[in-house]
Amino acid sequence: MKQTDPETHKESLYLEVCGANGAVSLPLHSSIVLFLLSYSECSSFHVCLVTDQADVLQSPSALVPAGLSVSALRRDELPGLVKMCRLPAALESDVGFCRAGLAVVLRHIIQRACQLMPDRRDVASLLGFKNTCLKACAEVSQWTRLCELEIPSAVEKHLQNPEDETNRLPPAIINLEKRLGEPVKVHNDDKIRRQKLQQQKKSDSQVKDAEKEPHPNVELSAALARLSTDAVCPPSSREHSDIRKVKSTDLPELEHVFAEGLYFTLTDVVLLPCIHQYLISLRTHSPSTLSHLPLLLRWYQRTQELSGVLRAAKDCGMVFLTLSAADPCLTQQDAPPQASEEPKPKQEPFIGGPRPTLTKLQENGIDAIYSAYPCPLRTVDWESLPAAVNPSEAFLCLLESKFLGIPVEMAL
């Protein structure tokens, strides 16, 4: 196979390619990486398309967005470090360092793009608040596991057999739909929620005017303001005194604009190619199923309002569908398959404390051995101490008593 040598100053990015009966296609993980490269306009990587079949890629440049350096590679030709990893993988050959895994590679692309283009605020914001978006690995984070592994796997399984009714609403998609319906929590949500309350009261007092000219959505305004300094920002005027007096618990909840909440993040980049292929398949094979995913459809439409997403989609050959809950094909005809949603077992209330624990140990043949406390008993003159450390004044806490030299457990 004729192979183009990667440029020495570029980091190598290895993506998997599927080939069957002379036809080639990109797995969802590879499509996601290419979509991010296009969105961030990062050209500092040399893309190596990896396949098991020799000479299956006659024109590798046709599978990637224009402007990217690309070459084809057989799996047995991979560098030793990359062979031991699951693709996608990014290799810094000069230092012998390899990053593997979808979320890790995507975060690395964003960080590299920000180094080269520090003014790209829209790219930097993909990492979310405190740059923690998809930072936790799938082994410890249910959200990362859902986005990085479960949804791509469920969509690919559905695409392999779209006529199978049991795969039309997989549990991963249902979990995402439920997540989009949960209240949003962000670090400055109190301010935005008060703006939303003020907007609602204004709409209630001017119902007729509101019907003629609806007020702008507070959540969407905040989301757009995060992406660009030229975007429409939420109102900055101070709230009325009656709004400021409202307790935080009585404020209206914020609704999802994007997958993580109000802001477009790396999670949306991961989900978009997957959901796009999934919706295309549903529209063709089971249009009525779309009626069970109103929140997912709204999210799908919202992502299309971003110019960067439209540009990246065009570069990657993605043609968005125009779907909404009001679409004639989304009439609710069939109930969602019961088999796709696994009932959650009833969780027994936790009963803790030393006695139940010791009882369980004894039932399993384990006896506790008691010994005298090594330090002499001390008494504490609570009257001579500040009231804040007195058990009758504070909640459960654990303090280190320096003057006694032993830990003192204090509880109500």
**Quick count: other Cβ atoms within 10 Å of Cβ 225?**
16
Q: Between 254 and 398, whose confidence is greater? A: 254
What is the dihedral sign for C-alpha 189, 192, 197, 200?
negative
User: What stretch(es) of the chain map to CATH 1.20.1050?
Assistant: 142-182+261-333
Buried b / exposed e along 5-19 (16+ C-beta atoms within 10 A): ebeeeebbbbbbbee
* DSSP one-letter string for 141-179: -HHHHIIIIIHHHHHHHHHH-TT-GGGSS-HHHHHHHHH
The 10 Å Cβ neighbour count of residue 63 is 22
Mean pLDDT of 52-62: 70
Cα 62 from chain centre: 29
Average pLDDT value for residue range 87-115: 90
pLDDT on residue 39: 94
Q: Which of 238, 205, 200 is nearest to 219 (CA)?
A: 200
Predicted confidence band of residue 376 (pLDDT cuts 50, 70, 90): low
According to the model, what pLDDT value does residue 55 have? 60
What letter represents residue 276's amino acid? H
Residue position matching structure tokens 């024109």: 59
CA atoms within 13 Å, Cβ hemisphere of 62: 7
CATH of 142-182+261-333, one of 1.10.10, 1.10.1760, 1.20.1050, 1.10.3470: 1.20.1050
Considering the domain delimited by 11-127, tell me its CATH architecture.
3-Layer(aba) Sandwich (3.40)
> What is the model's pLDDT at position 145?
92
CA dist 403 and 44 (Å) reads 60
pLDDT tens digit sequence for 143-183 = 999 999 999 999 999 998 888 888 889 999 999 999 998 88
Residue 122: what pLDDT? Answer: 86
Question: Which residues of the chain form CATH 3.40.30?
Answer: 11-127
Helix (H) or strand (E) holding 19: strand 18-20
Confidence of residue 341 (pLDDT cuts 50, 70, 90): very low
Q: What is the separation, in whole angstroms, between the first and last Cα of the chain?
A: 75
pLDDT at 153: 93
What tokens does 354 get?
Answer: 């030393």
The rounded mean pLDDT for the chain is 74
Strand-pairing partners, residue 50, are 16, 73
